[in-house]
Structure 1
Amino acid sequence: MTTAVREAPHHRNLTCVKEYRCRRPGCLARSAEYDRTRTRLVAYGRWQPFTDAEPVRRHVRMLGSYGIGWQRVSRLSGVSNGGMSRLLYGDYSRGRQPSKRVRTQTADRIYTVRADIGNVAPTALVDGTGTRRRIQALVANGWPQMRLGVELDLNHYRMIWERARSEMVTGASARQVLDLYSQLWNVDPASRGIAPRYIAQAKRIAKVNGWAPPGAWDDDYIDSPSAEPDLGDDVDRYTAIAEDARWLIGEQNYTVPQAAHRLGITSEHLYRALRERPEADAAGQAEAVAA
């Protein structure tokens, strides 16, 4: 007499082999690799199948503040919607609180999702700071708004003016402007056939509105709402990093590692900036440099 093998509901993790006796070659290979890894780590005394769930939740919430919702994180990381929901909200139908622990492999998958505009869903709304500044910087370099509208395939040139002032933009729009900025930030408009009078007109518009050119922005900070353009003021890099980080930590509830990630630097670099530029001395440091 043989025992019937139940069909696994999915084949994304080890459950299909361990609980449903799945024999698909790909699933068996995944299970065998897991067993080999476990045996090796146990031998080295490094086997930690579970980890604290709270830092993982904070990472997901940080991604959410950047416009990457938890369902988007689920798709990008390969973690099931159910697993993500239990991590964040628990299972109220069974009276269960949010998970206290999570599998290390699951945590590692979630941590691979970075706060990057490339991970934002096309229709998700994100902070428009970086998008505004990139458009404004191109205008300051002499690119007419009408030409930028053509490059962005917008139906009406006034739409570029709206994006140059928008507080929020979609993920698709932010990526589109980022790509265009990467192509044009150091290109002379005249080399692309833009007449001198239109170049001069664009620069006048930028000057009247106080728009900074690309050279005034550091790529690491152009998306940070607290960043200021470098228009020749002699402010050292550590002071700028410390000020931006304190804004993210104090106003956006970021942890130091999350703030470092948002600023595009290592945690060690950020800790050093915070240590060498204490908050009480930040204003004095800037005044001393200016003097």
Structure 2
Amino acid sequence: MPKRTGEPPHHNNLTCYTDYGCRLPECVERRNAWQRNLRRKKREGQPARVDAQPIRAHLYRLQAAGISTYRVSLIAGIDDWTVRAFMPSTTGRRARKHTTSPEIAAKILAVTPEQGTSAYIDGTGTRRRLQALVANGWPMRRLPEHLNLHGTYINDLINGRQQDRPVFAATAEKVAHAYEQLKDQKPTRHGIEARVVKRIRGLAAAKRWPTTQYWDKYPDAIGDPHFTPEYRKLRAQILAEEAAWLMTVGGLDRDQAAARLGIARFTIDRALREHPQDELETAA
């Protein structure tokens, strides 16, 4: 396929690499991670792609029950665009997606009419969206005017005092809508002083709250409670955590852990020397 000319419209998925020849380090790593995941699935005998027709039929059944694709995306923890791409457009154009990954298929097919009409849904995506806005420099005291939610409740959600608790579906929709409106806007354009924005970003960075730009790279993971963001973590720290988990939970020795991770033994040794607390924390 010939490469497209000009700058890619975004760097959120593989198209900037495959279609535009983009070679930014993060885009190259995204492609490499995709290839590693594909090879792993092949080794384990998992299908790389599955037919989208069962998903489309399921979405039609949910729509008949009064559940929108937007509500489905919130419940499944998947980007709204991903869900809508399985359905024909309002102008009558055919659906854009004809295959998808087994993980996306499983998340959508797991959504039931009962979940869709429930007053509560998982709050992971709501918390992460609020934290990402703060990481972009939005002060918490300025968010209520955009969310139509009480400031104390927003503060509880952002700081984890509501951790692992479900949220009202209406609250999740308010936050998701405001998130889409604010994620690409600069707080300074809304009268927030630059020094305040810098201070808020610093506080969020200290807590390792990913920014909206980070979640743009993983749009289908922001609402997934099983996805652990590796924001601002060095590769050696990630390897140390993975190796320590394999050794303490999986019962492997260092050579076996290295083989499982597909890296050399000395790489694990060096990672654990640089981040010894990760081994201790995992063993605790």
User: Who wins on radius of gyration, i.e. which is larger?
Assistant: 1
Greater RCO, 1 or 2 (C-alpha within 8 Å, sep 6+) = 2
Q: Shorter chain as normaliser: what TM range?
A: 0.3 to 0.5
